[in-house]
Amino acid sequence: MAASSPRMSTSIQLPESITIGNAVVPFSVSVKNLGVTLDSHLTMNAQVQNITRAVNFELRRIGSIRHYLSKEAALTLVSAFILSRLDYCNALLYGCPQYLLNRLQKLQNNAARLVLRVRKSEHISPHLQALHWLPIESRIKYKIACLSYGALTQTGPAYLTDMTQTYTPGRTLRSSADTSILSTPRVNTKSFGERSFSVSAPLVWNSLPVTLRHSASSGSFRTGLKTHLFSLAYT
């Protein structure tokens, strides 16, 4: 598979296949790697469709036995089989079209209704708040922020550290005393460049409060981060 923007793909002529040694490898419009389906334009449409299919299957399975379960047991099953799928590699969904994120949010809403036995006519936000669940977009930011913290403290993968750079102003000013700000590289493509970790990490990280960015440990950072995102989502 060769990835490019829809506009660029029309100007690139690709062969039907490539030869590696004695093997002929045909081009594909999508590939699956570590459970994530990527298409040639990186739209994440196929990945969201796969998540939707898998989550709906689990919702039906858990729903069929819900009347036998306590609230705590239902919450455990939903966390294990549904929320885990919504959170898996969700940093890749940063900057995706809103309609895709809305699909995933609807799945989370249905999961909350299943746990709490809430009717479809009821507004779901208070129930998500009662479960202490971050909404989908906040969960994506949470993942990116945690990866950024690991990159800055060198407790995460080295390749993520290589993709982040602390902002260094040309002149030393009082306003530049905070050394936890990340430099945001310039990009030309919205669907590719702005969604890359080298761009999404600074955008998410720099929006956090200074005290949170200077957390002493990963545990305190994660706790403070969830509290911060939770307050933004439900106030």
pLDDT in tens, 82-101: 999 999 999 999 999 999 99
Distance from chain centroid for Cα 79 = 17
Q: Give phi and psi for 29, each to the nearest 5.
A: -80, -15
Contact present, 1 and 38 (Cβ < 8 Å): yes
Predicted pLDDT of residue 46: 94
Reported as half-sphere exposure (CB side, CA atoms, 13 A), residue 69 has a value of: 18
Per-domain residue ranges of the chain: 6-133, 139-233
Provide the sign of the torsion angle of the four alpha carbons 71, 102, 54, 233, taken in this order.
negative
Distance (Å, rounded) from C-alpha 88 to C-alpha 84?
Answer: 6
Summarised one tens digit per residue, pLDDT across range 135-155 is 999 999 999 999 999 999 999
Contact present, 37 and 46 (Cβ < 8 Å): yes
Contact present, 186 and 192 (Cβ < 8 Å): no
Instruction: Tell me which residue has tokens 């898998």.
Output: 54
Beta bridge partners of 23: 20
Reported as half-sphere exposure (CB side, CA atoms, 13 A), residue 135 has a value of: 19
Most confident of 18-27, 34-43, 215-224: 215-224
User: pLDDT category, 81, cuts 50, 70, 90?
Assistant: very high
In this structure, are strands 30-33 and 23-26 parallel, antiparallel, or unpaired? unpaired
Report which residue type is found at 203.
L
Summarised one tens digit per residue, pLDDT across range 167-208 is 777 665 555 556 688 988 887 766 666 889 999 999 999 999
Summarised one tens digit per residue, pLDDT across range 1-11 is 555 555 555 56
In this structure, are strands 36-39 and 30-33 parallel, antiparallel, or unpaired? antiparallel
Q: Give phi and psi for 33, each to the nearest 5.
A: -135, 125
Q: In this model, does residue 121 exceed pLDDT 80?
A: yes
Plot region of 185 (φ>0 → left; ψ -120 to 50 → alpha; else → beta): beta
Predicted pLDDT of residue 1: 52
Predicted pLDDT of residue 234: 95
Report which residue type is found at 224.
G
